[in-house]
Amino acid sequence: MTASTQRTVLSLYMRVFRVARTWQAQSGVASDTLSERNYILQEARTLFRQNQQITDQEAIKKCINECEARIEIGLHYRIPYPRASYLPQMGLATQKGRKLRAQQRLRKQAKPIYLESHEET
C-alpha cells in the first residue's frame, strides 16, 4: 500500500469514528443513539479488519469508495444501517439451469457499491 493510500484509509477510519462520536438517532431516544453509535463502531472495526490484508490497488480503491458511500448515505438519511437492495425482476423465480445462473449474475451486477462488503442473504 502506498503512503497516500494508507493516509486515505486512516483518515476514513478516523472520519467514521468522528461520525460515531457525534451521531444522534432520528428518534432522539438516548438508547437508540447509543445502539446506533455502537453499530457504527463495530461495523467499522469489522470491515477494516476484514479488508486489512488487501494489497491490490483496485480492490483498495473499491473499499475506499464503498466506505465513502456508506458514510455519505448514512449522514444524508440519518440511518447508520445499510440501505436495502432490491432484487431485479424475476429475482425470486425458481428457475433452473442457464436462466438461474443469468438471474444470479444480474443480482450480483445490481448490487450497489455501499453493499459490496455484505454477504447476500
Structural contact between residues 44 and 16, judged by C-beta atoms closer than 8 angstroms: yes
Residue 59 has, within 13 A of its CA and on its CB side, a CA count of 9
pLDDT digits (tens, 9 = 90+) for 54-106: 999 999 999 999 899 899 989 998 989 876 656 555 555 555 667 777 777 77
Q: How far is CA 16 from the centre of its chain?
A: 12
**Model confidence, pTM:** 0.73
Residue 89: Cβ within 10 Å count: 9
